[in-house]
Chains A and B, each alone.
Chain A
Amino acid sequence: MPEKTMRDAINEALHQAMEQDDSVFVIGEDVGGCSGSAGDVGAVGGVFGVTEGIYHRWPDRCIDTPISESAIVGAAAGAALVGMRPVAEIMFADFIGVCMDQIVNQMAKFRYMFGGKSRCPAVIRFSSGGGFSAAGQHSQAMYQVMTSFPGLKVVVPSNAYDAKGLMLSAIQDDDPVLFFEPKILYQETADVPDEMYTIPFGEANFVREGDDVTVVAFGQMVPKAAAVIDALAEEGISCDLIDPRTTSPLDENAILESVEATGRLVVVDEAPPRCGLTADIAGLAADKAFSSLKAPIKQVSAPHSPTPFSPELEAAYLPDADKITAAIKATLA
């Protein structure tokens, strides 16, 4: 199977969806690029290159916009309400701050408020997460916040293979989907089939299988946790590593069955801890698998602080191998 980067895998999914269904279009800032310039219109393909090449094949369905996030999301939502399948790009997940209303008060709630009589099959893509010294307004995960809103489906791929299959599912899905791409993983590679395939929402992936501890991790924390678990295997500690892949819907069964078997739970996410996914999963286990637990649940997250700029500070801010290792060992102490 060919190796592809996560960036290329998502790009390929977009190309294939555009090819298959002409109601699919991409829209966002510089998704084509250089519009109105004397230079090479379409040369950019998004600042991370995820929509590269689309303009040259489908100029009518690759739509550059002004810097207007509310209108980008709103336009995607509106086009979807009348039957299109837009894939909008919001360059950084942090910019949800600008277009929150269109996401949470508008597209998330159409179907419910309209008594089940509408569909809004829009996908909004975001680059997400820390690791670039990009400071407080360009580093946030944000998917944990958006998971709390009923009506939205929320996807967080952790590798190129999943990213392609999840993107194709997102585009086919009839509900609004927020698709968070951990930007630190764009250049990471995996084996990715050339043909189209989908990965169903609400189906977790067991990245590692083991008996002693259940580790649940999200996005860029999945490869970090996998490396820790591989190192601990040499010390004779074996862990399940669960990547939920979609935080809404959430594969509760996979997590609960694993916790029932291991009796120990560590949850790892890069976002700050309050009202986040680590607390959410810990709450799930405390509520539904309490009698299986042999040790307190451990949560590994960023602290309750914005993302700092300086590389030393950001390294201390994001969960790392040491913190994940310590948490796993604490459940075994």
Chain B
Amino acid sequence: MSIPKETLLHAYRTMKTIREFEERVNAEIMNGQIPGFTHLYTGQEANAVGVCAHLDESDTIISTHRGHGHCIAKGAEVSGMMKELFGSSEGLCKGKGGSMHVADIDKGILGANGIVAGGPPISVGSALAAKIRKNGKVAVSFSGDGSVNQGTCFEAMNMAVVLQAPAVFVIENNYYSEHTHISYAVGCDDLKARTEAFGFPVFVADGADFFAVYEAAGKAIAHAREGNGPAGVFAEQGRYHGHFVGDPQAYRAEGELEDLRENHCPLKIFRAKMAESGELSDAELDAIDAEVMAEIEQSVADAKAAARPTAEQVTEDVYIQYTATA
């Protein structure tokens, strides 16, 4: 499969942006600058980027509590996201939502989501709209290995098949739901087979490898876009951080994290493949690294300088219109 150079450059830049965004967010949480509950996507960058590379602005995604990577990959503005995480009124969601609720409807980002498996049913609705409008759009939902055990996820998968809606279910197996291993929480041995039993094809990829995810997601998204009903992507790749910042990670095996960082790094794997194929040079990638670092640095400076919300804003945006006599 040959991928246009433009796409390769964009994919690398996006993965690097997610990586540096998350590492900086981690540091700012430690500094006490970012409040609330934050879940980092570091390590899983290739999933979001490999999937979103096949989407345009009017396709939709719906994300999870671990949503920064999905949102960046779908085109959310980094500075607006950073401001949101800092709780600024200039943030993407005016400081109302924070990390777990980053959204940008104009960009087809129907939101990160604090409710595990809150997203898939909503994504089926977006897919159904595409089917009714016959506009060739697809709706992608991201789900963790833990969220697939929620009734809403089962219902969404079955209904997408019943409705033959262009819904794409991306299952990201990072092996854990909070502290619980997938081998405990998913009762059967084969999650791919369980998912396919709903009645749609699931394409498997190594979630550390952008090219593998790109290929699998390409098949799934084409399947849905061409009117064949839903499809799935199943990608395996561990997260580098704890479930939340400060998680003691008592569930890890000895050497697990080192192995992930060393042998399953999407950025390293991407660079190695580029070195091998010669499609992109080290110099080109280094230049992107420098630009990304500068962009993240700037986003933090902007977030620190951004306006803070005021008390009157608490009750704004609850409704579009709502009249009651006080």
A interface residues with partner B (beta carbon < 8 Å): 29-30, 33-40, 43-44, 47, 64-71, 94-95, 97-98, 132-138, 303-306, 308-313, 316-317
- Give the bracket for the number of chain B residues in contact with chain A: 35 or more
Binds A, one of B204-212, B259-267, B278-286, B305-313: B305-313
Asked whether, in the complex, the Cβ of B184 is within 8 Å of the Cβ of A313, the reply is no
From B179, B182, B252, A30 is in contact (CB under 8 Å) with B179
Asked whether, in the complex, the Cβ of A133 is within 8 Å of the Cβ of B185, the reply is no
Asked whether, in the complex, the Cβ of A310 is within 8 Å of the Cβ of B117, the reply is no
- From known contacts A66-B177, A309-B36, A309-B87, infer whether A137 and B318 are also in contact, taking CB-CB under 8 Å: no
Asked whether, in the complex, the Cβ of A135 is within 8 Å of the Cβ of B36, the reply is yes
In the bound complex, how far is the Cα of B173 from the Cα of A117, in angstroms? 46
CB proximity of B254 to chain A, nearest CB, Å: 8
Q: Which residues of B contact A29 (CB under 8 A)?
A: 177-178, 180
Does B176 count as interface, using CB distance less than 8 angstroms? yes
- From known contacts A40-B251, A95-B115, A312-B308, infer whether A133 and B176 are also in contact, taking CB-CB under 8 Å: no
Q: Which residues of B contact A137 (CB under 8 A)?
A: 100-101, 113-115, 118
Does B89 count as interface, using CB distance less than 8 angstroms? yes
Asked whether, in the complex, the Cβ of B89 is within 8 Å of the Cβ of A310, the reply is yes
Q: Which residues of A contact B310 (CB under 8 A)?
A: 312, 316
CB proximity of B121 to chain A, nearest CB, Å: 12
Nearest-neighbor residue (CB-CB) of B248 within chain A: A43
Nearest-neighbor residue (CB-CB) of A68 within chain B: B149
From A34, A47, A135, B101 is in contact (CB under 8 Å) with A135
In the bound complex, how far is the Cα of B117 from the Cα of A71, in angstroms? 14
Scan residues 160-215 of chain B and give those whose CB is less than 8 A from a CB of chain A: 176-187
From A30, A47, A65, A313, B313 is in contact (CB under 8 Å) with A313
In the bound complex, how far is the Cα of B252 from the Cα of A218, in angstroms? 40
Asked whether, in the complex, the Cβ of A37 is within 8 Å of the Cβ of B146, the reply is no
From A44, A66, A134, B179 is in contact (CB under 8 Å) with A44
Asked whether, in the complex, the Cβ of B98 is within 8 Å of the Cβ of A37, the reply is no
Asked whether, in the complex, the Cβ of A310 is within 8 Å of the Cβ of B180, the reply is no
CB proximity of B310 to chain A, nearest CB, Å: 7
21 intermolecular pairs with C-beta atoms under 8 Å apart: A35-B181, A36-B183, A37-B181, A39-B251, A40-B250, A43-B250, A44-B179, A66-B146, A67-B150, A68-B151, A98-B115, A98-B152, A133-B35, A136-B97, A309-B36, A309-B93, A310-B89, A312-B95, A312-B308, A312-B310, A312-B311
Scan residues 294-326 of chain B and give those whose CB is less than 8 A from a CB of chain A: 308-311, 313-315, 318
Nearest-neighbor residue (CB-CB) of B316 within chain A: A305
In the bound complex, how far is the Cα of B314 from the Cα of A29, in angstroms? 32
Q: Which residues of B contact A66 (CB under 8 A)?
A: 146, 149, 177, 180, 185-187
The SS class assigned to the B binding surface is loop
From B149, B152, B314, A313 is in contact (CB under 8 Å) with B314
- From known contacts A134-B36, A303-B314, A313-B96, infer whether A36 and B178 are also in contact, taking CB-CB under 8 Å: no
From A35, A95, A312, B309 is in contact (CB under 8 Å) with A312
In the bound complex, how far is the Cα of B65 from the Cα of A134, in angstroms? 12
Asked whether, in the complex, the Cβ of A309 is within 8 Å of the Cβ of B98, the reply is yes
Asked whether, in the complex, the Cβ of B318 is within 8 Å of the Cβ of A305, the reply is yes
CB proximity of A316 to chain B, nearest CB, Å: 4
Does B147 count as interface, using CB distance less than 8 angstroms? yes
Interface string of B11-44 (1 = CB under 8 A from A): 0000000000000000000000001110000000
Does B253 count as interface, using CB distance less than 8 angstroms? yes
Does B237 count as interface, using CB distance less than 8 angstroms? no
Asked whether, in the complex, the Cβ of B117 is within 8 Å of the Cβ of A67, the reply is yes
Interface string of B82-118 (1 = CB under 8 A from A): 0000011100010111101100000000000111111
The residue in B35, B113, B117, B186 that gathers the most chain A C-beta atoms within 10 A of its C-beta is B35
Top 5 nearest A-B pairs by Cβ distance?
A36-B184, A36-B181, A309-B98, A38-B253, A310-B87
In the bound complex, how far is the Cα of B37 from the Cα of A94, in angstroms? 15
- From known contacts A134-B36, A303-B315, infer whether A310 and B181 are also in contact, taking CB-CB under 8 Å: no
In the bound complex, how far is the Cα of B86 from the Cα of A309, in angstroms? 10
Asked whether, in the complex, the Cβ of B250 is within 8 Å of the Cβ of A34, the reply is yes
In the bound complex, how far is the Cα of B310 from the Cα of A261, in angstroms? 40
